[in-house]
């Protein structure tokens, strides 16, 4: 199984994004948290900033949209040419239509669930998805602790994906660290977002390598 580590730039220095991007060149992608202050109680940045990020890095951008009115906005992010756009199930009125609109741009598409949303809610869409995102904290802020029951959600989702959509990546976001990444990989996740564990460390590149090694060893014992 392939393992991917995607640092979240929510914990990076927003005044120095070029330098921050070059400190994580060994990553498999950059996780970009777009927050609107409505869907989540925090505000980050919008289209013009993501557009500039896309222009200054060759790493794939994995855009995680925590905003309202996704039926209108998701496709605008996808049109920037980013690698992947992830929608929150809780913020879409027409989930299937918005997934299809994002895919039509050529971007990969993901669907995310908050901690209180059951895996069963997104089962009808699994075969349409390039990626499923299990939020293992309440979305909004970096540096929170991993919610332990997320492990069971990841196991359940992995077994559904094995049956229904084996090529869909299983991403986890929130509270991932060297202490828990192996267990999360054993449960079935293959794509790991890590904000504070990478950017709050003295050496982001080493932290990425360490997280990757631990995740690979965890996935091999699954
Ligand atoms: C939280 C964001 C995460 C956040 C993760 O809503 O979606 O991507 O940056 O940060 P850590 O890894 O510090 O929990
Ligand atoms: Zn995120």
Q: What is the pLDDT of residues 6-43, one digit of tens each?
A: 999 999 999 999 999 999 999 999 999 999 999 999 99
Choose the catalytic residue: 28, 33, 36, 190: 33
User: CB–CB of 64/34 below 8 Å?
Assistant: yes
- The CA distance from 38 to 69, in Å, is 10
Any catalytic annotation for residue 71? no
Answer yes or no: is the C-beta of 67 below 6 A from any ligand 1 atom: no
Strands 191-194 and 4-7 come out as parallel
Q: Which residues surround ligand 2, an ion (CB under 5 A)?
A: 33, 64, 173
- pLDDT score for 36: 98
Answer yes or no: is the C-beta of 7 below 6 A from any ligand 1 atom: no
- The CA distance from 151 to 73, in Å, is 31
Any catalytic annotation for residue 36? no
Pick the atom of ligand 1 nearest to 140's CA: 6
The phi and psi torsions of 146 (rounded to 5 degrees) equal -55, 130
Cα of 74 vs centre of ligand 1, distance in Å, is 20
Alpha-helical (H) ranges within the chain are 17-22, 47-56, 70-78, 95-104, 150-164, 181-187, 196-199, 204-220
- The CA distance from 118 to 102, in Å, is 23
Query: Which residue positions in the chain have pLDDT lower than 70?
Result: none
- pLDDT score for 222: 78
The phi and psi torsions of 105 (rounded to 5 degrees) equal -80, -15
């Amino acid at each position: 199984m392939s393992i991917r580590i995607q640092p979240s730039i929510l914990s990076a220095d927003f005044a120095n994004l070029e330098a921050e991007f070059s400190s994580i060149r060994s990553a498999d992608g950059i996780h970009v948290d777009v927050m609107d202050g409505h869907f989540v109680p925090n505000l980050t940045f919008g289209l013009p900033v993501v557009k500039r990020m896309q222009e200054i890095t060759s790493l794939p951008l994995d855009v995680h949209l925590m905003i309202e009115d996704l039926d209108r906005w998701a496709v605008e992010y996808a049109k920037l040419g980013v690698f992947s756009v992830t929608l929150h199930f809780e913020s879409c009125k027409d989930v299937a239509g918005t997934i299809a609109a994002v895919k039509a741009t050529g971007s990969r598409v993901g669907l995310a669930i908050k901690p209180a949303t059951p895996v069963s809610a997104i089962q009808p869409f699994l075969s349409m998805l390039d990626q499923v995102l299990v939020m293992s904290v309440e979305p909004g802020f970096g540096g929170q602790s991993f919610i332990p029951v997320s492990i069971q959600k990841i196991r359940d989702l992995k077994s559904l994906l094995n049956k229904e959509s084996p090529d869909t990546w299983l991403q986890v976001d929130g509270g991932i660290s060297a202490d828990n990444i192996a267990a999360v990989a054993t449960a079935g996740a293959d794509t790991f977002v890590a904000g504070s564990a990478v950017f709050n460390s003295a050496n982001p590149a080493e932290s990425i390598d360490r997280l990757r090694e631990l995740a690979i060893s965890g996935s091999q014992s699954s």
